[in-house]
């Protein structure tokens, strides 16, 4: 079976052969995948998924690659990118946006229009689909507060609307994360009218603070661990003496201990090893089970 040839013959969108996944992740790690497909539309996506299922081919939907760790040994499957699902409609305070649209880009766009509610997302580098999947958040807010509904593709290839109450949003968790055979295609977000000047001032102030406190000059995927209730993962990592600790090219940031950075030629395996070691040491010393926010892709 020639997977690449077969997919090209489906004529559903752009197909990249043997892409290096490090070029598509914010950690800048990951080996080669069989191919990367950019479906043109919903019908193309359905055609592709049916072909992959019928032929038992492993696949993964990849957003902006800001929360995933691929191994350097590569991914023996097909990567699906929904970058073409990027339509945007703004009707008063309601936003209808495709899953492939960038979250930070949308946050700045609506904030400049004087709509409030997405300020928390200005520094989050994910896609809309990935942000809903992870229930991305910051500054005591997250997607669960602003998403009214999501258009999804169900496992039996039906297009259906799930409403906020169906999406089971919790801290860094959602219905989609627990049912990853449902695919986010589009979201409806509801915001409130606000003062543009105040909104932009808040965003710029937070940006300045992030630059001072986070290692944004290095490839990373943001916070590695969820904060345990009533505590901070960064504090626990410092307490076990892991600030600045390296394994291969992966290093615990000296600026913020809950960030692991690619300090040059890190592999996905290095990052995973460092994460697991931290989990083990924190469990040993404090009997706290740190939960990883990032996703290991095998």
Ranges of beta strands (E only) in the chain are 13-17, 33-39, 59-62, 68-70, 75-81, 88-91, 94-98, 115-116, 137-138, 141-142, 147-153, 159-163, 183-190, 192-193, 220-223, 246-247, 250-252, 259-262, 295-297
Task: Enumerate residues 6+ apart whose C-beta is below 8 A from 9.
Answer: none
Residue 94 has pLDDT above 90, yes or no: yes
CB atoms within 10 A of CB 250: 27
| H-helix or E-strand spanning residue 293 | none
Q: What is the DSSP string of 201-243?
A: HHHHHHHHHHHHHS-TTS-EEEESBPPPTTS-HHHHHHHTT-T
Taking the model in full, what pTM does it have?
0.94
Annotated catalytic residue, options 127, 149, 220, 223: 223
Annotated catalytic residue, options 109, 172, 206, 210: 172
The pLDDT value recorded for residue 190 is: 98
What is the side-by-side order of every strand in the sheet holding 88-91? 88-91, 94-98, 183-190, 147-153, 159-163
The CA radius of gyration of the chain, in Å to the nearest whole number, is 20
pLDDT in tens, 28-82: 999 999 999 999 999 999 999 999 999 999 999 999 999 999 999 999 999 999 9
Domains and CATH numbers, the chain: 3-81 (3.30.43.10), 88-197 (3.30.465.10), 215-297 (3.90.78.10)
The rounded mean pLDDT for the chain is: 97
pLDDT band for position 116 (cuts 50, 70, 90)? very high
Q: Give the three-state DSSP class for 100.
A: coil
The pLDDT value recorded for residue 244 is: 97
Q: Give the three-state DSSP class for 72.
A: coil
pLDDT in tens, 222-276: 999 999 999 999 999 999 999 999 999 999 999 999 999 999 999 999 999 999 9
The pLDDT value recorded for residue 139 is: 92
What residues are paired with 59 via a beta bridge? 78
Examine the residue annotation and report whether 293 is marked as an active-site residue of this protein.
yes
Task: Enumerate residues 6+ apart whose C-beta is below 8 A from 143.
Answer: 121, 131, 132, 135, 136, 137, 169, 174
Examine the residue annotation and report whether 127 is marked as an active-site residue of this protein.
no
The pLDDT value recorded for residue 146 is: 98
CB atoms within 10 A of CB 229: 7
pLDDT band for position 127 (cuts 50, 70, 90)? very high
pLDDT band for position 1 (cuts 50, 70, 90)? confident
Q: How many percent of the chain have pLDDT more than 90?
A: 98
Letter string b/e over residues 257-271, b meaning 16 or more CB atoms within 10 A of that residue's CB = bbbbbbbeebbbbbb
Phi, psi of 248 (to 5 degrees): 60, -130
Cα–Cα nearest to 69, from 283, 264, 219:
219
The pLDDT value recorded for residue 274 is: 98
Cα–Cα nearest to 66, from 128, 119, 118:
128
Can you tell me the distance from the alpha carbon of 129 to that of 80, in angstroms, rounded to the nearest whole number?
A: 13
């Amino acid at each position: 079976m020639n997977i690449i040839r077969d997919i090209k013959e489906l004529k559903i969108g752009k197909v990249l052969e043997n892409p290096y996944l490090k070029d598509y992740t914010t950690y800048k790690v990951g080996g080669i995948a069989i191919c990367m497909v950019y479906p043109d539309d919903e019908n193309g996506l359905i055609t592709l998924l049916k072909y992959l299922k019928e032929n038992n081919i492993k696949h993964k939907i990849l957003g902006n690659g800001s929360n995933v760790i691929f191994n350097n040994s590569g991914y023996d499957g097909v990567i699906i990118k929904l970058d073409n699902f990027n339509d945007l409609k703004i009707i008063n305070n309601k936003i209808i946006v495709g899953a492939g649209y960038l979250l930070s880009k949308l946050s700045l766009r609506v904030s400049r229009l004087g709509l409030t509610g997405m300020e928390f997302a200005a520094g989050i580098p994910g896609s809309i689909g990935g942000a809903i999947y992870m229930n991305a958040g910051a500054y005591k807010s997250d997607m669960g507060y602003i998403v009214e509904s999501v258009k999804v593709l169900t496992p039996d290839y039906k297009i259906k609307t799930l409403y906020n109450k169906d999406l089971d949003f919790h801290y860094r968790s959602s219905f989609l994360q627990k049912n990853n055979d449902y695919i986010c295609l589009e979201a409806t977000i509801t915001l409130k009218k606000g003062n543009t000047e105040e909104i932009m001032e808040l965003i710029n102030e937070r940006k300045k603070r992030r630059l001072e406190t986070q290692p944004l000059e290095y490839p990373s995927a943001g916070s590695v661990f969820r904060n345990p209730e009533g505590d901070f993962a960064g504090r626990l990592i410092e307490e076990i003496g892991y600030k600045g600790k390296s394994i291969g090219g992966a290093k615990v940031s000296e600026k913020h201990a809950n960030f692991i950075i690619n300090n040059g030629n890190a592999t996905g395996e290095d990052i995973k090893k460092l994460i697991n070691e931290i989990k083990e040491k924190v469990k040993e010393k404090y009997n706290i089970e740190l939960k990883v926010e990032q996703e290991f892709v095998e």
